[in-house]
Structure 1
């Protein structure tokens, strides 16, 4: 069928996450969410919790957690479910129960059970890039993230800030505004490492 994925960016402050699994993979999923939003609404269910997750509970006291086995009623008041155990039959049950309530599920290391994938993410201030390999190779996605992270300068956030101000104050119709913005950003697309010259060029249009 090819790559039919449709990328979206969720406003995590409005999403209630349920993670099932308290081991290393569960901690990895929790860390990924907290990295994007330290106040993300997360609830975790597991029969046991590893040391790293226990430390996370101390650091982020808003995280809810229960020491118990998964039950169908745990799906209530949840928007997205992430299954991160080593029990494949449990994962299948979680997906069935969640999908019956129109809740999307991500299952660690089982692409065939996933309704969506958690991609590698590059974050530079307000710039965010999500990378997916359609479930084929998380390692490649990680390497690409590292490459982008190393080559996109941190100053890009300042550029975005100035462009936002410029867009607010530009006069004329949409076509005219687009032409000006394209002209300004052309320098950046050809030479992203040359930010000092780019910022000087941008200042002429303030």
Structure 2
């Protein structure tokens, strides 16, 4: 049973530390910035790939420090993503993160993670997170592709209209929910005809 708690974070309000700037680091920072373009990311890496350097060039919310990790790098950090294949370093960072109550993700090491970076389907303001509890990123990726193709481009317009309707509704919370449910049921019934 998947016991993970799904959550969406406002990364522009948090400080993210990414350790590693090779191919896996590039994959992680790409995902972070694609989902949260104003995410504040501090990157610490002794070796920085050319692709990584090119990707972060001009990213005003990304600070790159080309050096080895130091324990003080966790100061003021809310979230850590490690893209390192150094087992001892990964375990050391896990110990530090636990002591400081900082959430940690270590790429391809589920046993060291407090959270996973799942696949995300995105159409405008709609985001759907997909988790396989760390068991099969490939299945998550295939589900993402399927759902991405399934959702109509107009979904963002529908979300906007539902927001406007919600803002105009009066009454208590229960009444608002009842009215919105009735409206969405009507929309679904019309789309099935």
Q: Which residue of 2 aligns with 1:144?
A: 143
> What is the 5 A alignment of 1:1-206?
2-189=1-188, 194=191
TM-score, normalising length from structure 2?
0.93
TM-score, normalising length from structure 1?
0.87
Change in 2 beyond 3 A, CA 1:11/1:174: same
CA contact (8 A) 2:41 2:63 kept: yes
* TM-superposed deviation, 1:95: 0.6
Q: Distance in 1 between matches of 2:111 and 2:187?
A: 40
Could you give the per-residue CA deviations for residues 19-67 of structure 1, whole angstroms, max 9, x where no partner exists?
1111110000000010012221011111111121111221414311111
Q: Unmatched 5+ residue regions in structure 1?
A: 198-206
Change in 2 beyond 3 A, CA 1:173/1:37: closer
When the two chains are superposed, the root-mean-square deviation of aligned CA atoms in Å is: 1.8
Q: Distance in 2 between matches of 1:102 and 1:174?
A: 35
Q: Distance in 2 between matches of 1:178 and 1:57?
A: 43
Task: Pick 1 or 2: higher relative contact order, CA cutoff 8 A, min separation 6.
Answer: 2
- Structure ID, larger Rg: 1
